[in-house]
């Protein structure tokens, strides 16, 4: 599974960004290969559609899940249409902790599923 995590900076100690569409970076974590890469969010400064354009870029890269502090209504609908699970960070945390939660080696109380229907 490929997971896109909204990141304020491009390293594992970076905090998860509260804003999906306006984040500076995405950490793309591949849980099957247990590797990651940081991708710059080049659409973050768009006046309109930054979130949807970022979501579209990530879907083209094969993500199945997205993690951020919040998702706008347009992005939420877009992800639902493309069957991408959204996970909302409940507390401030860093990218490494989110990856450890995904691996099952850390406390999951900082995350919750946004949409139980997917």
Q: Is residue 62 part of a domain?
A: yes
- Is 70 domain-assigned? yes
Q: Is residue 63 part of a domain?
A: yes
Return the structure tokens found at 94: 């860093």
Any idea what the CATH number is for the domain that residue 17 is in? 3.30.420.130
Question: Does any domain span residue 118?
Answer: no
Q: Are strands 65-68 and 2-7 parallel, antiparallel or unpaired?
A: parallel
- Which residues span the domain enclosing 28? 2-113
Compute, in degrees rounded to 10, the torsion defined by CA atoms 12, 86, 90, 35. -20
102, part of any domain: yes
Alpha helices in 24-81 (DSSP H): 50-60, 73-81
Please report the pLDDT score of residue 118 as a whole number: 26
Residue 89 belongs to a domain: yes
Q: What is the pTM of this model?
A: 0.88
- Reading the chain (118 residues) residue by residue, the pLDDT tens digits are 999 999 999 999 999 999 999 999 999 999 999 999 999 999 999 988 999 999 999 999 999 999 999 999 999 999 999 999 999 998 899 999 999 988 886 555 555 556 533 2
Structure-token pair, residue 77: 């609908």
* Rg of the chain, C-alpha, whole Å: 13
Count of domains for the chain: 1
């Amino acid at each position: 599974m490929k997971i896109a995590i909204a990141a304020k900076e491009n390293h594992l100690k970076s905090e998860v960004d509260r804003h999906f569409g306006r984040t500076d970076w995405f950490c793309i974590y591949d849980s099957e290969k247990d590797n990651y890469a940081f991708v710059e969010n080049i659409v973050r400064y768009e006046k309109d559609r930054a979130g949807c354009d970022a979501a579209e870029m990530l879907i083209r890269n094969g993500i199945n899940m997205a993690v951020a502090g919040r998702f706008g209504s347009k992005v939420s609908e877009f992800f639902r249409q493309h069957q991408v699970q959204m996970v909302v960070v409940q507390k401030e945390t860093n990218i490494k902790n989110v990856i450890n939660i995904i691996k099952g080696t850390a406390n999951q109380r900082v995350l919750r599923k946004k949409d139980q229907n997917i």
